[in-house]
Amino acid sequence: MNTEPSSSNPHLATFGAGCFWCVEAAFLNQKGVHSAISGYMGGHIDDPTYEQVCGGQTNHAEVVQVTFNPEEISFKILLDLFWGVHNPTTLNQQGADRGTQYRSAIFYHSEEQKSIAEESKIQLDTAGHFGQPIVTEITPASTFYPAEDYHQDYYSRNKNAPYCQIVIQPKLKKLGIE
């Protein structure tokens, strides 16, 4: 069954690539992206809190759920941004952030997304693009739980915070976004 919305409605893509603040900032200003919402997916309890997820109690990943118009931006282009915003070769870790909540993950919303994601991963691995094997999991999307309000649009509201200046800004500059 295809759970992807029809072309008259925006489509969803959900990515886990470490801290959701970084990922959200990368996707928010892309043409064709209507929203990028930080949240949690892939765990075993309902309505997890940030503290539970960070405490490793739920097995949720920090994710960003992107709503996009496929006539303006393709899932493949979103994948390219996903691969560029993090290191998909480190298991359960991005930089200093460690734990299963920081795992590299693509939660697909349709068989087409699954196929595109698997092919993209194979191509990058075969080309040795990252110098190490990609450990990104590709799994079906499950219930998405939006993160608490203070996590939403974090970067644009906190650009002068040390984490934003030291971690997020360099990633965005590398991607040519900032």
CA nearest to 50, candidates 14, 99, 93: 99
The answer to whether residue 123 is domain-embedded is yes
- Which residues constitute the domain of residue 88? 11-174
Catalytic residues: 19
Q: How confident is the model at residue 2 (pLDDT cuts 50, 70, 90)?
A: very low
The answer to whether residue 92 is domain-embedded is yes
The answer to whether residue 6 is domain-embedded is no
The answer to whether residue 2 is domain-embedded is no
pLDDT tens-digit series, residues 89-121: 999 998 888 999 999 999 999 999 999 999 999
pTM: 0.91
CA–CA dist 86, 16 (Å, integer):
9
pLDDT tens-digit series, residues 3-25: 344 444 579 999 999 999 999 99
The whole-angstrom distance between residue 165's C-alpha and the CA centroid of its chain comes to: 20
The answer to whether residue 1 is domain-embedded is no
The answer to whether residue 88 is domain-embedded is yes
CATH number of the domain enclosing 162: 3.30.1060.10
The count of domains in the chain is 1
The answer to whether residue 59 is domain-embedded is yes
